Chains A and B, each alone.
Chain A
């Protein structure tokens, strides 16, 4: 913001600080995005509003549809898996619902910008929709800044706006949503959803998460029940003759230490792992009748102690000690470190990036375990991670048309719509290879950026059949893990915290790094917790207690 007389930044001084933000995002978050969500528990998503009003009567009725039967059906909400590409696709919406007009939509994108004119992929999807969606695409890492500005200038708000949960601006629920965006309750609540069967196919939890101030506003992009896993390089461990049998925190520490030597280290920074195996709650937990915040819990303390022990043992790769998280995947995939936590989506991506050059490559998540060897507790992830909202209007037909278009976009696996949205047009963007697998053409790399998925999405499905053994392994692991999932307190509720408490949790983000690396001790944690209570933590507790009381 301030002009700096270092010679590089002249001429554009007005945007310096902003540029930083963007740059930071590129550095820290490009590869680290999966971490964002897990960090969500501590990170700034002071989302919406008092959810005291029961969400039950405003959300759509859940009417599941199945176009093809999964080979690995959902267990306790786990993602169903499909071992093959369906030979016959079903068109779930027979007639394109649109009226041939143009709507604008704003979405983030983590990918290369596609050409907007003459793009056969967009043309194909717009044909299915019947109206054209004209995208205003923004670099996903700085989408929050774009949103903040556009939402401050109502005339610039497009018809359809995608908002990731981590980009929800402060006071979104209390001030913005009802003034800028359309209340969808009258269009979708209960049975009203029936004209939109693909929307009715989305889980109630995901819809519940779209309720602000007791009214339904958002359309969801459903999320994984289990967001993170602890991976190890099974191919390398096999080569070493090690079959890991990890059933406790101590086992994992021992294994990491055993694997360290030469220019290979046992582990990356396993802070997320520590939180998972110690069942650190995402935000609050009930201890008897009392609300206890994450940072006050014994679990949090134990997780920090565990991670500090891991670092102290010397088993963490030095680059991870320096917190170069951006290269963590490269280190893990090159075998310089052998245990790492990652989002579950990182699994098949690693297969994509490595199988061609290293057919033996296999990373495997440990079966869920608890630090003390007991029964693991896995807190459910947010039921949705991205929403979209429709601009407020008195024109009911417009809303209905947009919802009908959303219904097309929400078509699940096994439908023509899903196939087109995700793979483009056969013969143009892909050809069918062995087993009916779509093989992308060169044009796909240019044109196919599925920005539609940021508007609304069907329930997740595991369909990466191109990696031998993957769908089976992933589906089985997810089913196993789903046994231990537990709803965290205030699950699937949009709660807007008062703005003044927004940053009181910030010191813990640093503390987690500092204690893990031995720069600070658990005594510092005690001091920080005291400080947290004094600077608003106790008031925040009272705030949540009120909500809890209203709900019981």
Chain B
């Protein structure tokens, strides 16, 4: 069976572009048969259910963030039917100027961190991707260990402190810069690349740097985009390191600042005195929490399409040919 398929794939390269026939779905290639009605219906049902299961809660979250606190108290939780709408939660969060500043900080950390992490990981993964290369097994083991043995809070803090990184943005980037998991994923994809192409390049005199840059990278855009997304999301959402390492509140990243809006208006234990009470007149409660949740998703919404672009079938082929 497998032999037969090899021949098919060998034949592929010389096949002309498939011609499109009229009166068929304009996206369905000519060679693909018409699906059965039952199968098609099932597909529609499943996908609709999946989408609804996501969209409805999302809708209530957004609606709640746009409602007044009185409205959330009236219904006793998340709002599902639009009542009195207001942008109060958003204006309060975005109004102070702290959030805008923190968003810049987070953008900087995320950009620098993602570029650094992705570069280091791609290089590391490629460096480990050739079967039988020097010491690759012990090195892989070095990566693997870090997935299962963590370090405590205090030793890590002492390290960062003794490196003089307290209050530095590097303290938010370097400690988590390499994820062994991401390196393994990249390596897995790199190893899927046809060895013959690499060998051919090597015979042509290309070094490993050149092979990585000219062949492996263009062929792996999808997985690199995914790994970059993983890193980016990680940096964007991280807040705990900032709690430990950043004393200067003006340097707080966005997630930390947003979190502080969720804490607003909490009573101090046993004191009987709400600490921010008459004085600030701040909005509290569910709408704020939900607005924070919505704001946290927005950057992902912006970035995701760029990642998704690389999922399109055939991109890789084009890259190789080009």
Direct contact, A vs B (beta carbon within 8 Å): yes
B249→A460 contact, CB < 8 A: no
Set B149, B249, B264, B279: member contacting A424, Cβ < 8 A: B279
A10→B96 contact, CB < 8 A: no
B150→A353 contact, CB < 8 A: no
Interface string of A255-285 (1 = CB under 8 A from B): 0000000000000000000000000000000
Contact A343 B272, CB 8 Å, known A14-B150, A19-B240, A116-B249: yes
Set B70, B75, B161: member contacting A358, Cβ < 8 A: B70
Set B234, B261, B265, B273: member contacting A460, Cβ < 8 A: B273
B98→A446 contact, CB < 8 A: yes
Chain A contact-residue range equals 35 or more
B264→A111 contact, CB < 8 A: yes
User: In chain A, what residue has the closest Cβ to B269?
Assistant: A37
Set A22, A152, A450: member contacting B239, Cβ < 8 A: A22
Interface string of A424-461 (1 = CB under 8 A from B): 10000110000001111010111011100100010010
A1→B268 contact, CB < 8 A: no
Residue A15 at the chain B interface, CB threshold 8 Å:
yes
Residues of B within 8 A of A164 (CB): 269
A140→B73 contact, CB < 8 A: no
User: In chain A, what residue has the closest Cβ to B267?
Assistant: A345
Interface string of B188-228 (1 = CB under 8 A from A): 00000000000000000000000000000000000000000
How many A-B pairs with Cβ below 8 Å? 286
B270→A37 contact, CB < 8 A: yes
Provide the bound-state CA to CA distance between A13 and B240, in Å.
11
A10→B234 contact, CB < 8 A: yes
A34→B176 contact, CB < 8 A: no
B263→A139 contact, CB < 8 A: yes
Provide the bound-state CA to CA distance between A14 and B221, in Å.
27
User: In chain A, what residue has the closest Cβ to B289?
Assistant: A30
A12→B270 contact, CB < 8 A: no
Residue A91 at the chain B interface, CB threshold 8 Å:
no
Chain B 225-251 residues near chain A, CB threshold 8 A:
230-235, 237-241, 243-244, 247-250
Residue B166 at the chain A interface, CB threshold 8 Å:
yes
Residue A126 at the chain B interface, CB threshold 8 Å:
no
Query: Secondary structure at chain B's binding surface: helix, strand, loop or mixed?
Result: helix
Contact A109 B240, CB 8 Å, known A116-B249, A460-B271: no
Residue B1 at the chain A interface, CB threshold 8 Å:
no
Contact A136 B249, CB 8 Å, known A227-B270, A334-B76, A466-B278: yes
B74→A357 contact, CB < 8 A: yes
Set B97, B176, B260, B277: member contacting A115, Cβ < 8 A: B97
Residue B252 at the chain A interface, CB threshold 8 Å:
yes
Provide the bound-state CA to CA distance between A149 and B154, in Å.
5
B276→A450 contact, CB < 8 A: yes
B234→A224 contact, CB < 8 A: no
Interface string of A114-125 (1 = CB under 8 A from B): 111100000000
Residues of A within 8 A of B149 (CB): 2
Set B158, B247, B259: member contacting A136, Cβ < 8 A: B247
Distance from A32 Cβ to chain B, minimum over Cβ atoms (Å): 9
A112→B260 contact, CB < 8 A: yes
Interface string of B70-83 (1 = CB under 8 A from A): 10111111000000
Residue A364 at the chain B interface, CB threshold 8 Å:
no
Residue B151 at the chain A interface, CB threshold 8 Å:
yes
Set A3, A15, A142, A385: member contacting B146, Cβ < 8 A: A3
Set B77, B161, B262: member contacting A156, Cβ < 8 A: B161
Residue B57 at the chain A interface, CB threshold 8 Å:
no
Residue of B73, B154, B256, B270 with most chain A CB atoms under a 10 A cut-off: B270
Provide the bound-state CA to CA distance between A14 and B261, in Å.
26
Set B96, B179, B269: member contacting A446, Cβ < 8 A: B96
Residues of A within 8 A of B70 (CB): 354, 356-358
A12→B235 contact, CB < 8 A: yes
Distance from B253 Cβ to chain A, minimum over Cβ atoms (Å): 11
Set B69, B240, B269, B280: member contacting A445, Cβ < 8 A: B280
User: In chain B, what residue has the closest Cβ to A449?
Assistant: B276
Contact A18 B240, CB 8 Å, known A30-B263, A113-B249, A156-B161: yes
Residues of B within 8 A of A366 (CB): none
Set A8, A146, A227, A330: member contacting B72, Cβ < 8 A: A330
Distance from A415 Cβ to chain B, minimum over Cβ atoms (Å): 16
A381→B270 contact, CB < 8 A: yes
Interface string of B279-305 (1 = CB under 8 A from A): 111101110000000000000000000
User: In chain B, what residue has the closest Cβ to A21?
Assistant: B240
Provide the bound-state CA to CA distance between A12 and B241, in Å.
9
Distance from B275 Cβ to chain A, minimum over Cβ atoms (Å): 6
Residues of B within 8 A of A37 (CB): 269-270
Contact A113 B257, CB 8 Å, known A22-B239, A345-B273: yes
Contact A13 B279, CB 8 Å, known A33-B267, A139-B256, A142-B243: no
Contact A444 B281, CB 8 Å, known A15-B238, A354-B73, A450-B275: yes
B77→A327 contact, CB < 8 A: yes
Residue A166 at the chain B interface, CB threshold 8 Å:
yes
Distance from B201 Cβ to chain A, minimum over Cβ atoms (Å): 31
Provide the bound-state CA to CA distance between A389 and B233, in Å.
39
Residues of B within 8 A of A34 (CB): 267, 269-270
Residue A110 at the chain B interface, CB threshold 8 Å:
yes
Provide the bound-state CA to CA distance between A148 and B243, in Å.
12
Residue B68 at the chain A interface, CB threshold 8 Å:
yes
A353→B284 contact, CB < 8 A: yes
User: In chain B, what residue has the closest Cβ to A10?
Assistant: B230
Provide the bound-state CA to CA distance between A386 and B269, in Å.
9
Residues of B within 8 A of A382 (CB): 270
Residues of B within 8 A of A352 (CB): 274, 277-278
Residues of B within 8 A of A462 (CB): 272
Chain A 58-87 residues near chain B, CB threshold 8 A:
79
User: In chain A, what residue has the closest Cβ to B256?
Assistant: A139
Residue B170 at the chain A interface, CB threshold 8 Å:
no
B271→A2 contact, CB < 8 A: no
B286→A330 contact, CB < 8 A: yes
Residues of B within 8 A of A11 (CB): 113, 117, 176, 179, 182, 230-235, 238
A140→B96 contact, CB < 8 A: no
Interface string of B146-166 (1 = CB under 8 A from A): 111111011011100100001
B271→A109 contact, CB < 8 A: no
Could you give 9 example pairs across A and B, Cβ below 8 Å? A3-B180, A11-B235, A13-B179, A110-B264, A112-B260, A115-B96, A138-B243, A139-B243, A345-B271
Apart from A11-B232, A345-B272, A440-B278, list 20 A-B contacts with CB within 8 A: A7-B230, A10-B233, A11-B235, A13-B150, A14-B156, A30-B262, A112-B264, A112-B282, A114-B249, A115-B98, A137-B249, A139-B243, A141-B263, A142-B243, A146-B244, A149-B157, A330-B72, A330-B73, A356-B70, A445-B280
